[in-house]
């Protein structure tokens, strides 16, 4: 039986990481347009004074938050201690480094995990302890099709997203009794400008990879030829409605996964086929490695 969640009949306070561009900015604007309270965040608010002014002119606030800071959860504790309840935490901040797995440096690997998993995990732990006491809260984690089936050159990025997804599944089961929802948003390719901010790995591509799919994808991303077909505004409108239980989200408050993007449908099918094939081939083996009674 699906869990039943109740939401207060009042404007909610949303804290969104990575609010200065892409999904974060689109969602922040929708949140404010619908009369909710917004706490926008970014690593360097001084870099986007016009956006800070826009948010503040509509009654919101913009604070500095670096998810790579090991003490980033303290931001939520400080807000709560000042009487500002974080009803909805949206873990959106992120980036991708493109390179084959073998060429990644330890530093690149760890930095990605810090941004995509450890930072969001710290914020979640800080938020949930306060939400549990109030018996209400919503955690929204922006994920990616790469968490399900990563393309070449996106291995560590997919690993970071998959780690947060896996943790979210356990968290959802742990906190549903406290009226806390956990929603994972699985995103395809969208017009967020991610392609314009492409980061290639430090190490050069080995000659053996010349002409490979890895090289092709890296060239597409680094030359501005990446052409996403998703509309970020439409996607974030759907996220908003699923969170508040309106529009496309009405009646689906207990759902834990929200897939978005036409290209994501095909990727989900690939994963389904991958697992179905494994059971078809090794099903007998799978079911015959048990202890005998």
From 19, 161, 209, 232, the catalytic residue: 161
144 is catalytic: no
SS3 content of the chain, % helix, strand, coil (to 5): 50, 15, 35
From 98, 117, 157, 209, the catalytic residue: 157
Convert 90-122 into a string of H (helix), E (strand) and C (coil). EECCCCCEECCHHHCCHHHHHHHHHHHHHHHHH
20 is catalytic: yes
143 is catalytic: yes
Torsion 283-284-285-287 (CA) sign:
positive
Inter-axis angle of helices 22-33 and 49-57, nearest 10: 20
**Which residue reads 């009646």 in tokens?**
251
From 19, 20, 21, 42, the catalytic residue: 20
From 143, 144, 168, 214, the catalytic residue: 143
Q: CB under 8 Å to 23, separation ≥6 — which residues?
A: 92, 142, 187, 190, 192, 232, 235, 236
Q: Are 108 and 97 in contact (CB under 8 A)?
A: yes
157 is catalytic: yes
Catalytic positions, written as ranges: 20, 143, 157, 161
């Amino acid at each position: 039986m699906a869990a039943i969640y109740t939401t207060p009949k009042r404007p909610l306070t949303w804290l969104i990481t990575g609010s200065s561009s892409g999904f974060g900015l689109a969602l922040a604007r929708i949140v404010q347009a619908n009369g909710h309270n917004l706490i926008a965040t970014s690593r360097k608010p001084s870099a986007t004074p016009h956006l800070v002014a826009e948010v503040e002119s509509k009654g919101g606030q913009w604070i500095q938050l670096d998810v790579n800071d090991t003490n980033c959860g303290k931001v939520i504790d400080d807000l709560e201690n000042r009487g500002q309840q974080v009803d909805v935490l949206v873990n959106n901040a992120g980036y991708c480094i493109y390179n084959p797995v073998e060429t990644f440096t330890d530093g690149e690997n760890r930095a990605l995990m810090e941004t995509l998993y450890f930072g969001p995990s710290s914020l979640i732990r800080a938020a949930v302890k306060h939400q549990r006491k109030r018996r209400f809260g919503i955690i929204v984690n922006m994920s990616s099709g790469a968490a399900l089936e990563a393309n070449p050159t996106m291995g560590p990025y997919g690993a970071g997203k998959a780690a947060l997804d896996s943790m979210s599944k356990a968290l959802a089961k742990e906190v549903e009794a406290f009226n806390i929802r956990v929603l994972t948003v699985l995103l395809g390719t969208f017009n967020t400008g991610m392609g314009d901010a492409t980061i290639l790995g430090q190490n050069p591509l080995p000659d053996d990879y010349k002409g490979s799919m890895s090289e092709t994808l890296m060239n597409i991303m680094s030359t501005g030829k990446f052409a996403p077909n998703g509309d970020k505004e439409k996607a974030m409108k759907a996220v908003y409605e699923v969170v508040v239980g309106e529009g496309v989200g009405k009646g689906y408050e207990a759902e834990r996964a929200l897939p978005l993007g036409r290209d994501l449908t095909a990727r989900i099918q690939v994963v389904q086929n991958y697992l179905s094939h494994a059971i078809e081939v090794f099903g007998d083996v799978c079911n015959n490695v048990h202890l005998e009674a």
